[in-house]
Amino acid sequence: MDPILEEKLAEAASAAPIELSLVVPIYNEEDSVGPLVARIRAAMAVFERPWELILVDDGSTDATLANARKALSQGGQPLKIVELQRNFGQTAAMQAGIDAAVGRLIATLDGDLQNDPGDIPAMVKAIEERELDLLVGWRKNRQDGLFLRKIPSWCANYLIGKITGVKLHDYGCSLKIYQASIIKQVKLMGEMHRFIPAWVAGVVPSSRIGEMPVTHHARQHGTSKYGISRTFRVILDLLSVLFFMRYKARPGHFFGSIGLAAGAISALILVYLFVDKFLFGNDIGTRPMLIVGVMLFLSSVQLITTGILAEMMARLYSGENETPPYIVRQVFDGNDISA
């Protein structure tokens, strides 16, 4: 964990226990951040337990950070701003917020005002009553474009559910509630925020992952950071998720299985050519089948060797690298402003 975050968390440890931490990654949302904080404070007025709000500025290049500091200086409910050194992406920003959170429960939502903070108290009640480790929002009445947003999202949700085995209607909704002890066991990297339920399913049974319908609003300010190109990234990320879910602890089985299959086909081809040459006296020197058999044999050796090396690396680095996928410049909270 980043040293700056460690220092701030140590200070927070002596304060009253926080029941809920709200984590909001923001990037170039200068017009949304002020109304967002106001809406969250209004929505959480009915929440009678201690909570905190954490805004993670993901290297914004507009007035987002300045407007967030204005909201911070207004006082009220605890608000913390984690400023990243540059733009690391939504997944890294979300991880930074989760690392900074001290609540027993952690909620995440987008900073573009499309998620409704009014759903959070009901989601907290639902995750506790249903005894879940992760509750995912389902944008049942999604306020987005049909062709550029909804249809690609439907396709992605179907593929993710089919491959990972975690059946949800809406993987892409950022409004989620986690048990902090569970989500802190999951390390988010790359653009894997779309697959958080799949990663969590690697830590807990899928029966402890649920969903509930939530309100979704049309974007009011700024422009979407995602386009149709994200569909292709989802497919590539999905392949990575599939590999890590099934073969992270035994990569040798993945490469070895393919290598053994290639070796078996190579053996059949070469045995056939051997019989054809020495029993029937046919010439095999110029036959393409000989080249295919030899290439499959070499590929088999390479794949099996790669599997062995991958197994050695997995065992060597079984303790995960503790370096976070982001760099914090500084952290502000109410105490800093009052000082």
DSSP string, 27-84: SS-TTTHHHHHHHHHHHGGG--S-EEEEEEE-S-SSSHHHHHHHHHHT-SS-EEEEEE
- DSSP-derived secondary structure letter, 106: E
Extract the runs of DSSP E, i.e. beta strands, from the chain.
20-26, 51-57, 79-84, 105-108, 134-138, 176-179, 209-213, 328-332
Please report, rounded to a whole number, the percentage of residues in the chain having pLDDT higher than 90.
Answer: 48
pLDDT, mean of residues 250-255:
89
Q: At what angle do helices 230-247 and 251-278 cross, to 10 degrees?
A: 90
Q: Say if residues 255 and 307 touch (Cβ distance below 8 Å).
A: yes
Tokens at 174, concatenated: 């950022």
The stretch 268-285 carries a mean pLDDT of 92
Helix pair 288-316, 251-278: axis angle to 10 deg: 160
Q: What is the pLDDT of residue 16?
A: 66
What does CATH list as the number for 3-145+167-223? 3.90.550.10
DSSP 235: H
Per-residue pLDDT, 301:
96
d(CA 301, CA 12): 55
Q: Residue 83's pLDDT is what?
A: 94
Residue-level pLDDT at 314: 77
Can you tell me the mean pLDDT for 313-332? 70
Task: Dump pLDDT digits (tens) for 16-27.
Answer: 689 999 999 999
Mean pLDDT, range 211-234, rounded to an integer: 71
Q: Kindly tell me the burial class for residue 197, based on how many C-beta atoms sit within 10 Å of its own C-beta (0-12, 13-18, 19 or more).
A: buried
Would you say 326 and 92 are in contact if contact means Cβ atoms under 8 Å apart?
yes
Q: Where are the domains of the chain?
A: 3-145+167-223, 251-316
On whether the CB atoms of residues 186 and 106 are closer than 8 A, the answer is no
Of residues 103 and 71, the one with the higher pLDDT is 103
78: tokens are: 């605890």
Higher pLDDT, 240 or 169: 169
Q: Is 290 a residue whose pLDDT tops 80?
A: yes
pLDDT tens digits for range 89-126: 888 999 999 999 999 999 999 988 899 999 999 999 99
94 in Cβ contact with 56 (< 8 Å):
yes
DSSP percent split of the chain into helix, strand, coil, nearest 5: 50, 15, 35
